[in-house]
Amino acid sequence: MLKGYLKVRDACPVCSEPLYHHRADDGPAYLTILIVGHLMAPMLGWVFMEFRPDPLVLIAIFATGCVALSLYLLPRLKGMIVAFQWAKRMHGFSGEADAS
């Protein structure tokens, strides 16, 4: 479905379903921030209270973890949003012309 990192193909290479009219917009970014924040914030507090590492070490480890997890989740969540729109026949996936 994706061509490159975040670019959605104009059509599915297997079934030729048109994908150009999807409206993922900012949804994947918001979900990525929500998931990464809810995973890393409690873990940050737990690691700090349990191990008491040096603050620079803590920042380096968790900054790297947040960036890595965000880069991993973002294309998968974009694919999920486009697939959800297809499953619910939203934004032109119904085969009818969009009203907007």
pLDDT in tens, 60-73: 999 999 999 999 99
Is 97 a domain residue?
Answer: no
Is 70 a domain residue?
Answer: yes
What is the reported pLDDT for 21? 86
pLDDT at 27 over 80: yes
Is 94 a domain residue?
Answer: no
Is 35 a domain residue?
Answer: yes
- In the beta sheet, which residues pair with residue 11? 18
Is 98 a domain residue?
Answer: no
Is 99 a domain residue?
Answer: no
The number of folded domains in the chain is 1
Q: What is the pTM of this model?
A: 0.86
State which residues form the domain around 57.
2-87
Rounded Cα–Cα distance for residues 71 and 37 (Å): 14
